[in-house]
């Protein structure tokens, strides 16, 4: 019985620890999903590279098929709005925010919206 | 329970797959369709590409715009339709066996911003073309065109003489003057600007460089013989809003560059590019009493405007340059008059002003048909002094070209035709001998391009120019590209080129010697045939891409102005070619991404360049027979760190020294040493900043005694033109770039 008690206690403690850790992590590491106007594999490279140079961004990944860019960032250093505007400045729409016109112009023809997904 | 469900799922999936595949079996095996113009649906688009999305399986539409695709090739039921001048479209064809695709004509000109993603060896151009991209340019020590070729094997850059430090390019074993240099496809920096022209284009002005080996298009004139180097300058619409570069090296040279670009409204955009370089420190590391490098300063301004509205595109550019150089003995005082000058020195002052316009109109509803007008004008003036010699010159030129482009029937057959007019006014004065020349050359040209949209492209062009001094010149050219497979490409190029040489400007190195200039007869224009071809193969080993390229070119001169330094020591003789003059060039190059992020390039080059000097067929001086090139580039993911290392090995080069007895056979003539150079650079990139650090000539190799008779520069033995290796030793440099998109 004592054994079981110890086991239960250690289980509870472990869960609390994990929970606390998760809580702590949640405070700084956040994930945002942004629907973009990316159309191809080259866009993926361009966007992920641009994200890599953004302050506070830990990792990013674009799903070309769904056009959703998933960005993991440190909320102490940046926020979702910043990241969306960084996407705009790379030449892509971010959710409802349209791309910066000049940056869009700079994109390779195959990366422009008109080219269609391919 | 869980297991049971998943088993059920698998079964359901299996059955549905079976049902689906049998259903598709019952349907047609093929997808048929038609591609038409959206604005005019009765107009079929011939030669449009239709491929299954995410595959390389596809076809081109036939003469009535129709196509058939096999359903079994599909990765998913979506086709991608592309056509030149039209916006590509993807169409879902699930459940359909016959479709009509209406493509919309693209707006304006389609231009591509190349930023490191493009193949270095093009798979698309009919000519053998290599690209140097912005990221390649940033791999080497800044700051002008001469250094841009450092990480590239197709073009060599060599120092012309040991005093001025001027650099020249060579292609196919031939002097840079046989290579046509164009900026935005407009012939540039020709004639008297040739000796120092590589310094006149700052690396920061450049978006990308195309190097075309062998014969290219007739559209840009008759001058190219060994190839063409086209420099694409930064585009007002696409360039970064702000780009700044600062550079300094251990010799005391400083460069500063600033580009500003912006769009004024939807139609107008502009870019202003500024460059200056300064070297005031006199260094003499080899202790021969001469500066290793000429000191001086340069100011260079370039302003370009672009206008885009509907079917009209126009561009205006203006550039101004001022350069001063002083070289020679360490104690040379450029302010002492020549007569009282106890020291040997060279000095030059250059003023240059050039402008261009480009206007093109694309016919409404006919993206394949356009008309363009290109004009340019240049004023180039300099005064210079080489020891006791004075050399001054002025060149004023104007050039206009009208080009019409359209199709014959469908876009498998396209043609370009037009008119050109060139005006050149040269006046040179070398020690009171005047060389004046006025050229007026109207011309007509045409080029026909056949493309079967699949694997064969033929470009056949010719031009007829009516030269006021050298008569009517016919210049035919042919380029063929055949894709054995999408990964293996054969190219063939042949044709003629024609040019008028400027003997002093092209031999300024000889001015830095005691050699006399002797023009033995009336010099004719130069004319040559060039024939050659290449084989390009793209491969993949262990999932990483590689390229193998090999080529051979043969240039044979019908007439050449021979600069003969062999026959009479103490003189350079100029005469028309009496016997033969040819250049054979062979190159093999391998590129491969050895590890993720680590790319290696290796090239071997063989040159056989011989000219008849009077009655002796001898190898041209200063061209090595064998040459190796190795470049290793490394980049971390997202290119936050980049490192580059280039090494070049040079074989023996024959020299033409003045000390020799000219009756000796060639085997006994003086040779250079074998040597190697190593350049390296490391760059760290941040969001807007980049910091770089590098070394040129890391091994610190220096040519022993680059100047013959350095102790007595006013005597007969003086010669600083036999430079075959680096004069300055190791140079360390550092710089930073700041970009605002």
Find the CATH number of the domain harbouring B38.
2.60.40.1120
- Please report, for residues A101, A105, B112, B116, B425, the alpha-carbon distance to residue B238 in angstroms, rounded to integers and kept in the order given: 10, 7, 10, 15, 36
Give the start-end residues of each E strand in B363-432.
370-386, 389-408, 410-430
Environment class of B1 (CB within 10 Å of its CB; exposed 0-12, middle 13-18, buried 19+): exposed
- Distance from the Cα of A49 to chain B's closest Cα (Å) equals 5
In a domain, B147, yes or no: yes
Residue B699's φ and ψ, nearest 5 degrees, are -75, -5
Average pLDDT, chain B: 87
Output the 3-class SS for B292-320: CCCEEEEEEEEEEEEEEECCEEEEEEEEE
Q: Using CB atoms, pick whichever of B54, B89, B637 lies closest to residue A116.
A: B89
Q: Which pLDDT score, from 0 to 100, does residue B23 have?
A: 44
- The answer to whether B686 contacts chain A (CB < 8 Å) is yes
Overall domain count for chain A: 1
Tally helices (H) and strands (E) across chain B. 4, 41
Cα–Cα dist B317/B314, whole Å: 10
Can you read off the two tokens belonging to residue A42?
A: 């080259």
In a domain, A81, yes or no: yes
pLDDT at B662 over 70: no
Can you read off the two tokens belonging to residue B2?
A: 């869980």
Q: Taking Cα atoms as reference points, which of B571, B515, B168, B512 lies closest to residue B329?
A: B512
pTM (2 decimals)? 0.82
Environment class of B20 (CB within 10 Å of its CB; exposed 0-12, middle 13-18, buried 19+): exposed
Cα–Cα dist B351/B348, whole Å: 10
B242 and B148 in a common domain? yes
Q: What is the mean pLDDT of residues A76-96?
A: 93
Cα–Cα dist B89/B103, whole Å: 7
- Please report, for residues A45, B495, B501, the alpha-carbon distance to residue B530 in angstroms, rounded to integers and kept in the order given: 41, 6, 18
Q: Which pLDDT score, from 0 to 100, does residue B357 have?
A: 96
What is the phi-psi region of residue A48: left when phi exceeds 0, alpha when psi lies from -120 to 50, beta otherwise? alpha
For the segment B13-34, what is each residue's pLDDT rounded down to a tens digit? 555 544 444 444 444 578 888 8
B140 and B86 in a common domain? no
B496 and B535 in a common domain? yes
In a domain, B14, yes or no: no
Residue-wise over B225-237: b if at least 16 C-beta within 10 A, else e? bbbbbbbbbbbbb
- The answer to whether B242 contacts chain A (CB < 8 Å) is no
In a domain, A12, yes or no: no
Q: Which pLDDT score, from 0 to 100, does residue B405 have?
A: 93
- The answer to whether B544 contacts chain A (CB < 8 Å) is no
Adjacent-strand bridge partners of B561: B576
The CATH number of the domain holding residue A59 is 3.30.70.100
Can you read off the two tokens belonging to residue B496?
A: 């003629």
Q: Taking Cα atoms as reference points, which of B490, B488, B487, B486 lies closest to residue B458?
A: B490
Contacts of A54 in chain B (CB under 8 A): 687
- The answer to whether B639 contacts chain A (CB < 8 Å) is yes
B386 and B286 in a common domain? yes
- The answer to whether A74 contacts chain B (CB < 8 Å) is no
Output the 3-class SS for B233-301: ECCCCCCCCEEEEEEEECCCEEEEEEEEEEECCCCEEEEEEEEEEEECCCCCCCCCCECCCCEEEEEEE
Cα–Cα dist B664/A75, whole Å: 80
- The answer to whether A65 contacts chain B (CB < 8 Å) is no
User: Which run of H or E residues covers position A10?
Assistant: helix A2-28
pLDDT at B507 over 60: yes
Higher-confidence residue: B13 or B122? B122
Contacts of A3 (CB under 8 A, 6+ apart): none
Between strands B433-451 and B456-467, the pairing is antiparallel
B85 and B207 in a common domain? no
pLDDT at B62 over 50: yes
CB contact under 8 A, A116 and B238: no
- The answer to whether B640 contacts chain A (CB < 8 Å) is yes
Residues B155/B169, Cβ–Cβ less than 8 Å: yes
Can you read off the two tokens belonging to residue B628?
A: 């190796």
Contacts of A109 in chain B (CB under 8 A): 110-112
B149 and B37 in a common domain? no
- Distance from the Cα of A101 to chain B's closest Cα (Å) equals 10
For the segment B279-311, what is each residue's pLDDT rounded down to a tens digit? 999 999 989 999 999 999 999 999 999 999 988
Between strands A57-63 and B544-559, the pairing is unpaired
Residues B323/B297, Cβ–Cβ less than 8 Å: yes
**Which residue range is the domain that position B615 belongs to?**
128-740
Cα–Cα dist B317/B334, whole Å: 35
What is the phi-psi region of residue B700: left when phi exceeds 0, alpha when psi lies from -120 to 50, beta otherwise? left
Cα–Cα dist B492/B2, whole Å: 66
- Distance from the Cα of A104 to chain B's closest Cα (Å) equals 9
Report the range of poorest mean pLDDT among A68-77, A101-110, B433-442, B563-572.
Answer: A101-110
In a domain, B65, yes or no: yes
Q: Which pLDDT score, from 0 to 100, does residue B113 have?
A: 31
pLDDT at B59 over 90: no
- Distance from the Cα of B691 to chain A's closest Cα (Å) equals 15
Q: Which pLDDT score, from 0 to 100, does residue A24 have?
A: 53
**How many other C-beta atoms are found inside a 10 Å radius of the C-beta of residue B609?**
23
CB pairs below 8 Å between A and B: how many?
Answer: 49
CB contact under 8 A, B80 and A45: no
- The answer to whether A102 contacts chain B (CB < 8 Å) is yes
DSSP assignments along B303-363, one per residue: EEEEEEETTEEEEEEEEEEEEEEEEEBTT--TTS-GGG--S-EEEEEEEEEEEEEEEEEEP
Q: Using CB atoms, pick whichever of B88, B110, B113 lies closest to residue A106.
A: B113
Contacts of B235 (CB under 8 A, 6+ apart): B111, B113, B207, B271, B306
Residues B555/B530, Cβ–Cβ less than 8 Å: yes
Can you read off the two tokens belonging to residue B601?
A: 């390039």
In a domain, A37, yes or no: yes
Overall domain count for chain B: 2
Q: Taking Cα atoms as reference points, which of B296, B122, B309, B87 lies closest to residue B216?
A: B122
Q: Which pLDDT score, from 0 to 100, does residue B665 have?
A: 53
CB contact under 8 A, A49 and B685: no
Q: What is the mean pLDDT of residues B130-146?
A: 79
Q: What is the mean pLDDT of residues A37-62?
A: 91
B56 and B188 in a common domain? no
Report the range of poorest mean pLDDT among B132-136, B310-314, B481-485.
Answer: B132-136
In a domain, B118, yes or no: no
Residues B261/B239, Cβ–Cβ less than 8 Å: yes
Q: What is the mean pLDDT of residues A87-102?
A: 91
The CATH number of the domain holding residue B301 is 2.40.170.20
Q: Which three-class secondary structure state does DSSP give residue B435? A: strand
CB contact under 8 A, B687 and A53: yes
**Of chain B residues 470-509, which have a CB less than 8 A from chain A?**
none
- Distance from the Cα of B90 to chain A's closest Cα (Å) equals 6
Q: In what order do the strands lie in the sheet with B58-60?
A: B58-60, B49-52, B78-82, B89-92
In a domain, A10, yes or no: no
In a domain, B122, yes or no: no
CB contact under 8 A, B687 and A55: yes
Cα–Cα dist B229/B722, whole Å: 26
Cα–Cα dist B493/B358, whole Å: 28
In a domain, B220, yes or no: yes
Contacts of B238 in chain A (CB under 8 A): 105-106
B210 and B158 in a common domain? yes
Higher-confidence residue: B726 or B43? B726
Q: In what order do the strands lie in the sheet with A68-74?
A: A29-35, A68-74, A57-63
Please report which confidence band the pLDDT of residue B8 belongs to, taking 50, 70 and 90 as the band edges: low
Cα–Cα dist B506/B195, whole Å: 6
B406 and B284 in a common domain? yes
Residues B553/B531, Cβ–Cβ less than 8 Å: yes
**Which residue range is the domain that position A54 belongs to?**
29-115
Q: Which three-class secondary structure state does DSSP give residue B122? A: coil
In a domain, B119, yes or no: no
Select the residue from A91, A101, A108 to test the B interface by mutation, using most B Cβ atoms within 10 A: A108
ipTM: 0.72
Q: Which three-class secondary structure state does DSSP give residue A85? A: helix
Can you read off the two tokens belonging to residue B277?
A: 């370089």
Residues B717/B693, Cβ–Cβ less than 8 Å: no
Contacts of A105 in chain B (CB under 8 A): 237-238
Please report which confidence band the pLDDT of residue B525 belongs to, taking 50, 70 and 90 as the band edges: very high
Residues B229/B176, Cβ–Cβ less than 8 Å: no
- The answer to whether B87 contacts chain A (CB < 8 Å) is yes
Residue B589's φ and ψ, nearest 5 degrees, are -140, 140
- The answer to whether B88 contacts chain A (CB < 8 Å) is yes
- Please report, for residues A20, A33, A34, A76, A77, the alpha-carbon distance to residue A27 in angstroms, rounded to integers and kept in the order given: 11, 17, 20, 9, 12
Per the listing, tokens 């064998």 go with B626
**Of chain A residues 33-52, which have a CB less than 8 A from chain B?**
42, 45, 48-49, 52
Higher-confidence residue: B239 or A4? B239
B226 and B152 in a common domain? yes
Q: Using CB atoms, pick whichever of A54, A105, A115 lies closest to residue B687.
A: A54
What spatial distance separates the first Cα and last Cα of chain B, rounded to whole Å?
58
Q: Which sign, positive or negative, has the C-alpha torsion B230, B235, B238, B241?
A: positive
Can you read off the two tokens belonging to residue B654?
A: 């024959």
B523 and B408 in a common domain? yes
For the segment B394-418, what is each residue's pLDDT rounded down to a tens digit? 999 999 999 999 999 887 899 999 9
pLDDT at B568 over 60: yes
Cα–Cα dist B342/B348, whole Å: 19
Which residue from A minimizes the CA distance to B239?
Answer: A106
- The answer to whether B334 contacts chain A (CB < 8 Å) is no
The DSSP secondary-structure symbol of B603 reads E
In a domain, A42, yes or no: yes
In a domain, A23, yes or no: no
CB contact under 8 A, B87 and A114: yes
For the segment B480-503, what is each residue's pLDDT rounded down to a tens digit? 999 999 899 999 999 999 999 999
CB-side neighbour CA atoms (13 Å) of B475: 32
Residues B688/B724, Cβ–Cβ less than 8 Å: no
Please report which confidence band the pLDDT of residue B101 belongs to, taking 50, 70 and 90 as the band edges: confident
Q: What is the mean pLDDT of residues B658-685?
A: 77
For the segment B366-395, what is each residue's pLDDT rounded down to a tens digit? 888 999 999 999 999 999 999 999 999 999
B95 and B49 in a common domain? yes
Q: Which pLDDT score, from 0 to 100, does residue B153 have?
A: 83
In a domain, B1, yes or no: no
Q: Among the three residues B87, B103, B119, which one is the final residue of a domain in this structure?
A: B103
């Amino acid at each position: 019985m004592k054994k079981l008690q110890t086991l239960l206690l250690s289980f509870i403690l472990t869960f609390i620890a994990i929970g606390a850790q998760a809580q702590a992590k949640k405070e700084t590491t956040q994930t945002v999903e942004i629907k973009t106007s990316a159309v191809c594999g080259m866009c993926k490279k361009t966007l992920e590279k641009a994200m890599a140079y953004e302050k506070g961004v830990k990792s990013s990944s674009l799903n070309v098929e769904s056009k959703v860019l998933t960005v993991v960032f440190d909320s102490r250093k940046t926020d979702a709005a910043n990241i969306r505007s960084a996407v705009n400045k790379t030449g892509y729409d971010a959710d409802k925010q349209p791309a910066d016109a000049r940056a869009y112009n700079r994109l390779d023809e195959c990366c422009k919206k008109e080219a269609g997904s391919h | 329970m869980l297991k049971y469900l998943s088993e059920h799922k698998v079964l359901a999936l299996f059955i549905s797959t079976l049902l689906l595949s049998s259903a598709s079996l019952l349907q047609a095996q093929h997808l048929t369709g038609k591609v038409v113009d959206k604005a005019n649906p009765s107009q079929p688009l011939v030669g449009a590409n239709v491929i299954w999305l995410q595959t390389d399986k596809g076809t081109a539409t036939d003469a009535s715009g129709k196509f058939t695709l096999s359903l079994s090739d599909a990765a998913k039921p979506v086709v991608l339709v592309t056509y030149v001048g039209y916006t590509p479209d993807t169409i879902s064809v699930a459940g359909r066996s016959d479709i009509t695709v209406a493509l919309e004509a693209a707006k304006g000109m389609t231009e591509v911003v190349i930023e490191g993603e493009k193949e270095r060896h093009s798979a698309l151009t009919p000519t053998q073309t290599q690209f140097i991209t912005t990221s390649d340019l940033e791999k080497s020590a800044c700051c002008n065109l001469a250094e841009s070729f450092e990480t590239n094997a197709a073009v060599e850059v060599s120092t012309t003489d040991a005093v001025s430090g001027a650099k020249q390019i060579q292609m196919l074993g031939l002097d840079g003057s046989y290579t046509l240099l164009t900026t935005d496809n407009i012939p540039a920096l020709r004639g008297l600007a040739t000796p120092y022209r590589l310094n006149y284009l700052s690396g920061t002005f450049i978006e990308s460089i195309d190097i075309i080996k062998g014969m290219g298009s007739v559209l840009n004139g008759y001058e190219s013989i060994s190839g063409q180097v086209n420099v694409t300058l930064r585009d007002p619409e696409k360039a970064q809003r702000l780009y700044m570069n600062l550079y300094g090296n251990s010799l005391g040279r400083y460069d500063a560059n600033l580009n500003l670009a912006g769009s004024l409204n939807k139609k107008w955009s502009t870019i202003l590019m500024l460059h200056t370089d300064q070297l005031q420190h006199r260094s003499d590391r080899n202790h021969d009493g001469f500066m290793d490098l000429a000191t001086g300063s340069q100011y260079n301004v370039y302003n370009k405007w672009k206008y885009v509205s509907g079917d009209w595109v126009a561009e205006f550019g203006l550039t101004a340059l001022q350069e001063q150089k002083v070289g020679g003995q360490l104690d040379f005082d450029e302010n002492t008059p020549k007569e009282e000058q106890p020291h040997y020195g060279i000095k030059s002052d250059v003023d240059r002003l050039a402008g261009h316009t480009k206007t093109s109109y694309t016919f409404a509803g006919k993206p394949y048909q356009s008309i363009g007008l290109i004009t340019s004008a240049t004023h180039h003036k300099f005064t210079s002094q080489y020891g006791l010699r004075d050399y001054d010159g002025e060149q004023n030129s104007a050039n206009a070209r009208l080009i019409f482009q359209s199709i014959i029937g469908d876009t498998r057959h396209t043609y370009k035709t037009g008119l050109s007019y060139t005006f050149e006014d040269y006046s040179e004065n070398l020690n009171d001998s005047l060389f004046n020349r006025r050229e007026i050359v109207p011309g007509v040209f045409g080029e026909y391009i056949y493309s079967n949209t699949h694997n064969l492209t033929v470009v056949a062009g010719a031009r007829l120019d009516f030269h006021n001094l050298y008569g009517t010149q016919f210049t035919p050219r042919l380029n063929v590209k055949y894709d054995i497979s999408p990964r293996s490409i054969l190219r063939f190029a042949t044709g003629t080129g024609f040019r008028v040489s400027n003997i002093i400007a092209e031999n300024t190195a000889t001015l830095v010697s005691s050699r006399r200039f002797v023009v033995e007869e009336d010099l004719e224009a130069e004319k040559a045939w060039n024939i050659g071809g290449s084989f390009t193969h793209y491969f993949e080993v262990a999932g990483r891409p590689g390229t193998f390229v090999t080529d051979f070119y043969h240039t044979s001169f019908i007439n050449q102005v021979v600069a003969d330094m062999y026959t009479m020591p103490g003189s350079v003789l100029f005469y028309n070619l009496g016997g033969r003059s040819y250049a054979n060039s062979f190159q093999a190059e391998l590129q491969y991404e050895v590890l993720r992020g680590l790319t290696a390039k290796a090239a071997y080059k063989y040159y056989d360049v011989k000219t008849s000097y009077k009655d002796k067929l001898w190898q041209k001086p200063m061209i090595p027979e064998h040459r190796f090139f190795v470049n290793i580039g490394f980049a971390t993911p997202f290119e936050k760190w980049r490192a580059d290392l280039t090494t070049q090995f040079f074989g023996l080069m024959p020299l033409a020294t003045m000390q020799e007895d000219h009756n000796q056979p060639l085997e006994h003539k003086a040779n250079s040493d074998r040597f190697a150079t190593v350049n390296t650079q490391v760059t760290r990139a941040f969001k807007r900043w980049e910091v770089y650090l590098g070394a040129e000539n890391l091994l610190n190799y220096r040519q022993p005694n680059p100047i013959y008779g350095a102790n007595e520069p006013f005597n007969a033995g003086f010669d600083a033109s036999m430079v075959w290796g680096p004069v300055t030793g190791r140079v360390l440099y550092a710089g930073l770039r700041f970009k605002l998109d």
